[in-house]
A = this chain, B = another copy of it.
Amino acid sequence: MSHTARETIHDVARRAKVSAATVSRVLNESATVAPGTVARVRRAVQALDFRPNLAGRSLRAARTRSLGVVVPTLANPVFAECLAGVEAGARAHGHTLSLATTGYKAAAEADAVEALLRQRVDGLVLTVTDAARNRVLDRLDRERVPYVLVFNQLARAERPTVSVDNRAAAREIVEHLIGLGHRAIRMLTGQFRQSDRARLRYRGYCDALQAAGLEPLPPLQMPFLAPDARLPLVEGLAARPRPTAFFCSNDYLALTVIRDLTALGRRVPDDVSVAGFDGIRIGELTAPSLTTVVQPSERIGGAAVELLLRRVVDTGEVASVALQHTLRRGGSTAAVAANPRAGRALAVLS
């Protein structure tokens, strides 16, 4: 054993000349204890520097006052921001947090959840690749483990989620691009298989184009963090009609794409416009700031914790929360002149 063995509740009891049960009552304020006794116990706790062992407590009490969080990656700040919200919420409610990441892999999702359940977390906050068909979530349902999905969104609210309206939001930002005069707009996403959000956002993209009487183009799917991630982009640039704008399924991808476009000799926003989705804080700091859909990621995390701890979840009623998104009209989106020459957007900062 590495660190020194600590006093137990019995040591405190002995010193305060009470029973262990009474110490427990004082510590948890779980029953009325005579003021004098409380004082003696508190003094003993202080004197011995007593630190309750939560393993003992949770074994007996069958709850841990801990929550588990499962997100695909921390490399994308949108998840870090959400995590910050979850952490603050958990702390506000006196709960601790266990964290696992999955790298967008379904097998890793199962492992992460399993590890968290062995710890007997009181609930889970997670973002999964596909919320609609998901063995892990099916299991959680069967075992009645309270959980809330964040960012994931379901058609008929089959599971508890906290998200924005992805489809409507995507439609809005693409309509914004269309409003700027763009006609050839292409969507760039991660692997659809890995993100139900991306699929919804693609539908929003289609909605916007169709409403404007334009033909939606197939999405360009990029691999997650792959070295040759630039290839699909080169294809996209070569395709006809020559795109004047790219709508990316998330901000992190959008920033990468802007960098790659620049490296390929295209000027953003002068030659081509790029819009994102997420509203990560860093996107505000680029100049001009990234045009995007802003999700309240931190509040999404906080709301998930509220749902979980208010026990709204395991009373059987599925509570799905849709939070409001906003648009950020950054300067990175160039307006296209009324009749742009094909493949060349005029640089008019919006």
Contact = CB atoms under 8 A, between A and B. Distances in A.
Interface residues of A, number: 63
A87 B99 contact: yes
21 contacts: A1-B63, A3-B145, A54-B118, A54-B120, A55-B64, A55-B119, A59-B59, A66-B119, A74-B84, A75-B84, A87-B101, A88-B101, A96-B115, A97-B99, A97-B100, A255-B282, A255-B285, A259-B287, A282-B282, A286-B286, A286-B287
B2 A144 contact: yes
Contact of A256 (B59, B80, B83, B285): B285
A98 interface: yes
A29 interface: no
A73 interface: yes
A19 interface: no
- State the majority secondary structure of interface residues on A: mixed
A282 B281 CA distance: 11
- Chain B CB within 10 Å, residue with most, of A3, A5, A62: A3
Nearest to A117: B51
Given A74-B87, A258-B285, A259-B285, 10 more contacts: A1-B63, A3-B146, A3-B314, A51-B114, A55-B64, A66-B119, A88-B101, A91-B100, A96-B100, A258-B287
A74 B63 contact: no
Stoichiometry, as copies per complex, reads 2
Nearest to A74: B84
Interface in A113-149: 114-120, 122-123, 143-146
A343 interface: no
A4 B143 contact: yes
Nearest to A298: B75
Nearest to A146: B2
Contacts of A117: 51
B120 A100 contact: no
A1 to B, nearest CB: 5
A108 B64 CA distance: 21
